[in-house]
């Protein structure tokens, strides 16, 4: 083989190896971590039912919230919480359905996604019951007690170590395609 052809062969080999290396590095780029609505619903089920005495006058029993990621606006997720409220003085019981929205936020120190900025969107009573004045305050109290700062995803130690070895960190959390996506980014957090 002539020296000129040999140089071309080496050059083509080097270019090919460089392309393979670049493609290999690109495949190491982590995709966003996808947490399905079903996975979040299972996590919620581990934290409920919840029984609390509130405002000293109400016994509250909250069932597992139902998650809705489809119509979440402005990066918020929807939740519907079935609640049974018993007024301690009269013994009267109310079946309430509370609608909430919450913002999922990455907690760097705890390496988890928490629900934050929980807001009541509606309160519906079953069976045409007349609401107590206290029920109007119930929504925000239940939100603070049951849902604010609730962990809905915990990153495993193995995944954290793997991401740290690659120099990746969590950049943001967003809702897309009926799932929660933890976006990753390379570089210093």
Ranges of residues in the chain whose predicted pLDDT is under 50: 19-27
What is the rounded distance in angstroms from the CA atom of residue 72 to the CA atom of residue 104? 11
Task: Tell me if the pTM is above 0.85.
Answer: no
What is the pLDDT at residue 85?
86
Q: What is the 3-state secondary structure (H, E, C) of 108-170?
A: CCCCEEEEEEEEEEEEEECCCCCCCHHHHHHHHHHHHHHHCCCEEEECCHHHHHHHHHHCEEE
User: Which pLDDT tens digit goes with each residue over 59-107?
Assistant: 989 999 999 887 666 789 999 999 998 988 888 888 888 889 999 999 9
């Amino acid at each position: 083989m002539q020296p000129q052809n040999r140089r071309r062969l080496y050059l083509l080999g080097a270019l090919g190896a460089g392309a393979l290396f670049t493609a290999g590095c690109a495949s190491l780029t982590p995709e966003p971590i996808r947490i399905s609505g079903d996975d979040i619903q299972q996590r919620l089920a581990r934290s409920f039912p919840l029984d609390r005495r509130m405002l000293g006058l109400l016994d509250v029993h909250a069932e597992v919230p139902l998650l809705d990621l489809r119509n979440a606006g402005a990066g918020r997720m929807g939740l519907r919480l079935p609640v049974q409220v018993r007024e301690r003085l009269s013994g009267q019981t109310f079946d309430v359905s509370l609608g909430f929205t919450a913002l999922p936020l990455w907690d760097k120190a705890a390496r988890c996604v928490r629900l934050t900025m929980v807001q009541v969107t509606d309160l519906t009573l079953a069976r045409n019951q007349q609401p107590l004045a206290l029920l109007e305050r119930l929504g925000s109290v239940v939100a603070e007690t049951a849902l604010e700062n609730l962990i809905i995803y915990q990153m495993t130690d193995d995944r954290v170590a793997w991401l740290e070895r690659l120099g990746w960190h969590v950049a943001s959390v967003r809702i897309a395609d009926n799932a929660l996506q933890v976006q990753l980014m390379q570089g210093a957090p």
